[in-house]
Amino acid sequence: MNRIEYRGAFWFPVRPGELWEVIEQFDQFESWWAWLQDFGAEADGLVAGNALHGTVIPPVPYWLRLDIRLERCVRPHVVEATVDGDVRGFAAFRLEPVDGGTRVEAVWWLDMRSTPLRVAALVAYPLMRWGHDRVVEMAVVGFRQRALAGVGS
């Protein structure tokens, strides 16, 4: 296995526009998540052409350097991006209003490019997948907390 494929759906208790604004707070990401380092964006906001860079440190013994290029952004409903760095792939997020909040559907595939990741995927794919899924869970919890913190402020 040299690829991680992911599909998930999450509900947030705020409208799509409010969640979009939380997601655009790139300058806050490192303070929100200890597993993210050296994060930065070339421009403000979720806009086509913007590039995001950072290092993900999952709870397993490897790091991932990521370069994300936002290819298509339709505020506040769609983000599509290509991913490069230690992995290469594609990611898409769809936000839709549901039950007074927002349902986010996330889909991506990532191919391991760096030699250490390719070896890890070969010999310890279940551990790699576990680390990936923990980072996703932590990101969702973090966005949910930040979205709730903004409600009523």
Task: Give 30's contacts (C-beta < 8 A, 6+ positions apart).
Answer: 36, 37, 39
pLDDT at 60: 82
Rounded to an integer, what distance in angstroms lies between the CA atom of residue 73 and that of residue 133? 25
pLDDT at 152: 46
Q: Residue 12's pLDDT band (boundaries 50, 70, 90)?
A: very high
86-145 tens-digit pLDDT: 999 999 999 999 999 999 999 999 999 999 889 988 999 999 999 999 999 999 998 888
pLDDT at 153: 45
Domains of the chain: 3-150 (3.30.530.20)
Strand order in the sheet with 101-112: 3-12, 101-112, 87-98, 78-85, 64-74, 51-56, 36-41
Kindly state the tokens that stand for 117. Answer: 């990741």
pLDDT at 145: 87
Q: Is the pLDDT of residue 24 over 50?
A: yes
42-91 tens-digit pLDDT: 999 999 999 999 999 988 878 899 999 999 999 999 999 999 999 999 99
State in Å, rounded, how far the first CA of the chain is from the last one: 46
